[in-house]
Amino acid sequence: MLEAIAACHRRGASAAYFTDFRYAARSWQGFTRRVVAKAEVVRLDERAPRSNPRFVVTNLRHTPERVYAIYCARGEIENRIKELKHDLALDRTSCHAFAANQLRLLLTTAAFALLQILRRPLPERPRVQTLRLWLLKIGARVECSVRRVVVHLAQNHPWRDLWRRTALALGAAST
């Protein structure tokens, strides 16, 4: 951490260092395990630097940077599963018929895929529940004609600009 703190102050930007070591907790009954450590100091905007140490117990033989990247990717997958389950109620299979529950799962999965497409152009990568609130659960007036669909949002809609940027990034025509 001391090296990361020094590098952060020297560069004026975030800094991270990786290492690994052997460790044995008392409850592990004498077995030592490999621990990968990430010593990071995060500096955002005009805020004060903040220490962000992370540790992963592993048996993988890759470099510490690669091991940490693997575990971060796994964590991202777990977050997507959590979004499916909690934000879109994937586990809600309360119908008595198998086909009805199967259709419910299929529709939930399709909704999740569509939300991932909506999330792609956004720089902040919000959760599915946040996306639903920002872009879908809003009042709007929709005009349909032969050639186009026009969505009119309220003038004071808090995420109007985000909605517009997302629509334009996905191929909507500007008016």
**Strand partners of residue 36:** 20, 56
Residue 175: what pLDDT?
65
- pLDDT at residue 134 above 70? yes
Domain ranges of the chain: 138-169
| Cα–Cα distance, 1 to 34 (Å, whole number) | 19
pLDDT tens-digit readout, 21-41: 999 988 888 789 999 999 999
- Provide the CB-side half-sphere exposure for 125 (13 A, CA): 4
Is residue 70 over pLDDT 90? yes
Q: Give the tokens for residue 62.
A: 């890759």
End-to-end CA distance of the chain: 52
Q: What is the reported pLDDT for 137?
A: 83
* Residue 172 to residue 175: CA distance in whole angstroms: 9
Band (pLDDT 50/70/90 cuts) for residue 107 is very high
Q: Give residue 105's pLDDT.
A: 92
pLDDT of residue 60: 95
Label residue 136 by pLDDT band (50, 70, 90): confident
The mean of the pLDDT values for the chain is 90
Q: Please state, as a whole number, how many other Cβ atoms lie within 10 Å of the Cβ of residue 155.
A: 6
